[in-house]
Amino acid sequence: MVMPDNKKKTPISYADSGVDIKAGEEAVERIKGLAAATFNEQVLAGLGSFGGLFEPNLAGLKAPVLISSTDSVGTKVKLAFMTGIHNTVGEDLVNHCVNDILVHGARGLFFLDYIGIGTLKPEVVAEIVEGLSRGCKNAGVALIGGETAELPGFYKPGEYDLVGFVVGVAEKSRIVNGSGIREGDVCLGLPSNGLHTNGYTLARKVAFEIAGHKPDDHVDELGMSIAEALMKVHRCYADIIHPLLGKYDIRGMAHITGGGIVGNLIRILPDGLAAEIVKSSWTPPVIFDYLQKVGNIDPDDVYSAFNMGIGYILVVPAERAGEVMDSISRTGEEVFRIGRIKKGRKAVRLI
């Protein structure tokens, strides 16, 4: 039998266990202004409420449909830990989520985030939210709330996880889902500027284990440090795509994330149709060739792990492909005719 210890003990606080409530309050104060910078007249309650209130302006929509998505930036946050650069991963996250609902023709309305962190440092949280705020402002999305959870013992010191949730809206009759794709349609590719938010477990192994680089090491083949090449912000394609919707018959769209072109384009193909993608129709950014050579990565693996320079694909009727490409080019953006839809077993073939 264990007898109670009646000696006077020094009381412990929540902070002694690893959770600093004052730091949490400071973090909230730091990020309020960043979130408020994304607000519009549709936001009814500011940061700090139990829930985010949003009154959508659905004028002009006869049958509005809400479309949502959630994701993280995966192990790209490991680069943030290594470099101490925390003000871009939030922008990565927003752009990834906005692109995911964009493929259905949705325009983003509001965004929420979740930050799980081992030891809460207000300045780090503020930097993360700086990126979230910038991404939301650029995409016209309101950052109406989120959660920062301090979880000592769950995350290693200096590490965190970052997750986002976006809600958008589209007219029901104009939702793009791939069902209209037909034989003979053309696949158009919009370029990525690097890895975006996928393939970082493999990329880190190649760059920091096999090649033995430190984040600040300059790599001549890349013309910059390895960290700069790997930390390039995930592109948002909303400004390119929205002007095309309603003007052209966009039959399908795919955001090229984990699984690469094959794993994502196949998600929108109807049964009985295959996509044939010509790899020589674009030139991937040099980072992909560098990782493949240094890591001796199998050619098939490299196309499933990385986007290989194509971040977004549109499927359009062949007779309108030239017009769509001209429309995109006039905005100063690059676009490539990368493939065609053919009859056959549902598949994506890289040739």
Q: Verify that 117 and 201 share a domain, yes or no.
A: no
Residue position matching structure tokens 């394609």: 237
Give the pairing of strands 347-350 and 273-277: parallel
Distance (Å, whole) CA 36 – CA 41: 11
Q: Verify that 169 and 192 share a domain, yes or no.
A: no
- Domain, as residue range, for 69: 18-174
Q: Is residue 124 assigned to a domain? A: yes
Q: What is the pLDDT of residue 45?
A: 72
How distant, in Å, are the alpha carbons of 20, 32, 57, 150 from that of 29?
15, 5, 29, 16
Of 120, 146, 174, the domain-final residue: 174
Q: Verify that 117 and 257 share a domain, yes or no.
A: no
Q: Verify that 310 and 205 share a domain, yes or no.
A: yes
Q: Is residue 286 assigned to a domain? A: yes
Alpha-helix residue ranges (DSSP H) falling in the chain = 21-36, 77-83, 89-102, 122-139, 200-204, 226-230, 238-241, 260-265, 286-295, 299-305, 321-329
Find, among 31, 145, 149, the residue nearest to 86 by Cα.
Answer: 31
Distance (Å, whole) CA 95 – CA 276: 27
Distance (Å, whole) CA 246 – CA 323: 14
Q: Any idea of the CA torsion for 212, 218, 221, 224, to the nearest 10 degrees?
A: 130
Of 123, 143, 174, the domain-final residue: 174
The DSSP code sequence of 316-335 is E-GGGHHHHHHHHHTTT---
Of 109, 140, 174, the domain-final residue: 174
Q: Is residue 7 assigned to a domain? A: no
Q: Is residue 8 assigned to a domain? A: no
> Which tokens in the block code for residue 306?
């990385």
Q: Is residue 180 assigned to a domain? A: no
Is residue 313 within 8 Å of residue 188, measured between CB atoms? Answer: yes
Find, among 189, 190, 186, the residue nearest to 319 by Cα.
Answer: 186
Q: What is the pLDDT of residue 10?
A: 64
Q: Verify that 334 and 223 share a domain, yes or no.
A: yes
Q: Verify that 159 and 250 share a domain, yes or no.
A: no
Q: Residue 331 belongs to a domain with what CATH number?
A: 3.90.650.10
Domain count, the chain: 2
Q: Verify that 292 and 204 share a domain, yes or no.
A: yes
> Which tokens in the block code for residue 89?
């991963």
Give the pairing of strands 336-343 and 347-350: unpaired
Q: What is the pLDDT of residue 300?
A: 87
Burial 299-323, CB ≥16 within 10 A → b, else e: eeebbebbbbbbbbbbbbbeebbee
Find, among 237, 241, 104, 238, the residue nearest to 173 by Cα.
Answer: 104
Distance (Å, whole) CA 169 – CA 107: 6
Q: Is residue 13 assigned to a domain? A: no
Distance (Å, whole) CA 35 – CA 31: 6
Q: What is the pLDDT of residue 345?
A: 97
Q: Verify that 163 and 279 share a domain, yes or no.
A: no
Q: Residue 96 belongs to a domain with what CATH number?
A: 3.30.1330.10
Find, among 92, 88, 86, 87, the residue nearest to 74 by Cα.
Answer: 92
Rg value, the chain, Cα:
23
pLDDT tens, the chain, 351 aa long: 555 566 666 665 555 556 555 666 666 677 788 888 999 999 997 666 788 899 999 988 999 999 999 999 999 999 999 999 999 999 999 999 999 999 999 999 999 999 999 998 999 999 999 999 999 999 999 999 999 999 998 999 899 999 999 999 999 999 999 999 999 999 999 999 999 999 999 999 999 999 999 999 999 999 999 999 999 999 999 999 999 998 999 999 999 999 999 999 999 999 999 999 999 999 999 999 999 999 999 988 999 999 999 999 999 999 999 999 999 999 999 999 999 999 999 999 999
Is residue 43 within 8 Å of residue 53, measured between CB atoms? Answer: yes
Residue type, 79: L
Q: What is the pLDDT of residue 304?
A: 94
Q: Using CB atoms within 10 A of its CB, is residue 343 exposed (0-12), middle (13-18) or buried (19+)?
A: exposed
Q: Is residue 210 assigned to a domain? A: yes
Q: Verify that 155 and 32 share a domain, yes or no.
A: yes
Say which residues have a Cβ less than 8 Å from residue 334's Cβ, sequence separation at least 6.
190, 191
Q: Verify that 62 and 205 share a domain, yes or no.
A: no
Element counts in the chain: helices (H) and strands (E): 11, 12
Q: Verify that 122 and 212 share a domain, yes or no.
A: no
Q: Verify that 41 and 107 share a domain, yes or no.
A: yes
Q: Is residue 4 assigned to a domain? A: no
